[in-house]
Structure 1
Amino acid sequence: MTDIIKPLALVTGVGPGTGASIARRFAAGGYRVVMLARDKARLDALEGEIADSIGIACDVSDPVALARVIAEVGNPKIVVHNAVGGAFGTFEKVEPETLQRNFEINTMALFHLARLTAPAMVEAGEGAIVVTGNTSAQRGKAAFAGFAPTKAAQRILAESLARDLGPKGVHVAYLIIDAAIDVPWQRELQPTKPDDFFISPASIADEVHHLAHQPRDAWSFLAEVRPFHEPW
């Protein structure tokens, strides 16, 4: 019997929360998942947990490293850019280098990923690029001066990609996560909040998977998820 060749899904920013859940969801959906992060030990542990997955230590802000990954694993059918560079502070407190670094992770990495992977998707006539974002992509609060500008640029870049690649058969979507994600550090910051205050990484992963598999006659670009009682 011939082995079934699984399609490839590439996920950046595979930490213990959202990124790992996205990797699990696509693996459960029949993909061979390539997981990118800087923490090799975490990736090794996830490789042992997720069947037929590949963990590669990679700094997504390095375009040479990204190109090396694609050359090694091949062309993905799905790309999920979940890696994020963040910082808290007003413009007077955030160092310029921090803003630049976050721009490289959030926006330039998406630019390079698209250049590396979209041509093969266009040639195949199918594929998806999904970007995880948050409300900083839509507004610039005072304490997010080192972060919000890069997420807003990321959203606009994703829209440019969507308008270019959509007519060529490649779906680009941007998911805004308007919630505190249920990970340990968020629980420690807000220890009195009830369970349903948080959004689970698994729920985010389900929505990412859904966006990547929408029917071609009903593609979304901008999608949002939030807990049912979140004010907005």
Structure 2
Amino acid sequence: MTNIPYGTALIIGAGPGISASLARQLSAAGVKIGLAARDTAKLAPLATETGARTFALDASEPAAVAKLFEDFETGIGGPEVVVYNASQRVRGPIAELDPAAVGRALTVTGYGAFLAVQQAAKRMIPKGRGAILLTGATAGIKGYALSAAFAMGKFALRGLAQSAARELGPKGIHVAHFVIDGMVRSASRPDEADNTIDPDAVAQTYLDVLRQPRSAWSQEVELRPWVESF
């Protein structure tokens, strides 16, 4: 197994689950990590465990995202890997949804991802290398009843990933979109192990993608437990 060819990583939307597992595995591989989230207090144990720096962030604000990247560069260095794991879900009948809440969900899930990809691209293009990983969901492939807002956000994320991969790939930047098709396992429900996705296994797949040679890059990867129908 080859080493990860990157030395720094910024995880946006960090928290328990996939991003926590990813932080641990990147740290174990010797990568310097930044964790960005609205509530950095909740990240303290993970930051201590992984040696990561934490950054408070509203992912939907252009100025805040720009400052995040500036602060990361100052404190850690240029981001060689950027992971966008932030999203917001609003569930309910279309006729009853709060338009403001839907707008906020779309802004965090789709527009926030654009802001992060833009800031990452500005820094990676001059260097001719880097990786941008976007965490998607089944909702980015097909919309479900009572989940219109989440589907719109994740469809936007997938479209962004496809466009960015075609534009940035020739510039040496690996853009990959991950379809997480199923419920991610949590420590509070260990009895559901066979029906849920192991976040450590998802993180392992992210690292495997980071190790891919440029001649065989994945642009989209689907991950699901074997019991999930699709």
Partner of 1:217: 215
Are 2:25 and 1:33 aligned?
A: no
Deviation of 1:213 (Å):
2.4
After TM superposition, list the pairs within 5 Å mapping 1:124-135 onto structure 2: 124-135=127-138
SS of match in other structure, 2:94? coil
| Aligned residue identity for 2:141 | Q
RMSD after superposition: 1.6
- Give the distance between the partners of 1:46 and 1:195, measured in 2 at CA: 23
- Give the distance between the partners of 1:227 and 1:168, measured in 2 at CA: 34
Partner of 1:46: 46
Partner of 1:168: 171
- Give the distance between the partners of 1:194 and 1:111, measured in 2 at CA: 34
Partner of 1:230: 228
- Give the distance between the partners of 2:192 and 2:82, measured in 1 at CA: 33
Partner of 2:3: none
- Give the distance between the partners of 1:156 and 1:71, measured in 2 at CA: 26
Unaligned 5+ segments in structure 1 are: 1-5
Partner of 1:181: 184
Partner of 1:3: none
- Give the distance between the partners of 1:89 and 1:79, measured in 2 at CA: 32
After TM superposition, list the pairs within 5 Å mapping 1:54-69 onto structure 2: 54-69=53-68
After TM superposition, list the pairs within 5 Å mapping 1:4-153 onto structure 2: 7-51=7-51, 53-74=52-73, 75-153=78-156
- Give the distance between the partners of 1:114 and 1:128, measured in 2 at CA: 10
Deviation of 1:168 (Å):
0.7
Partner of 2:204: 206
Kept in 2: contact 1:14–1:20 (CA 8 A): yes
Bigger fraction of residues in helix: 2
SS of match in other structure, 2:44? helix
- Give the distance between the partners of 2:7 and 2:113, measured in 1 at CA: 21
Kept in 2: contact 1:43–1:56 (CA 8 A): no
1:26-73 Cα offsets, whole Å, 9 max, x none, are 11122111001112211222221112x111121111221111111112
1:87-110 Cα offsets, whole Å, 9 max, x none, are 211211221112211111111111
* Alignment TM-score, normalising by the size of structure 1: 0.90
Kept in 2: contact 1:177–1:226 (CA 8 A): yes
Deviation of 1:79 (Å):
0.5
Which stretch of structure 1 is more off in the superposition, 27-36 or 176-185?
A: 176-185
Kept in 2: contact 1:18–1:205 (CA 8 A): yes
- Give the distance between the partners of 1:106 and 1:211, measured in 2 at CA: 22
| Aligned residue identity for 2:104 | R
- Give the distance between the partners of 2:69 and 2:7, measured in 1 at CA: 14
- Give the distance between the partners of 2:193 and 2:119, measured in 1 at CA: 40
Kept in 1: contact 2:185–2:192 (CA 8 A): no
Deviation of 1:184 (Å):
5.1
1:129-175 Cα offsets, whole Å, 9 max, x none, are 00011100011111101210111011001111011000111010100
- Give the distance between the partners of 1:114 and 1:177, measured in 2 at CA: 20
Identity %: 37
Unaligned 5+ segments in structure 2 are: 1-5
| Aligned residue identity for 1:143 | L
Deviation of 1:226 (Å):
0.8
Deviation of 1:229 (Å):
2.5
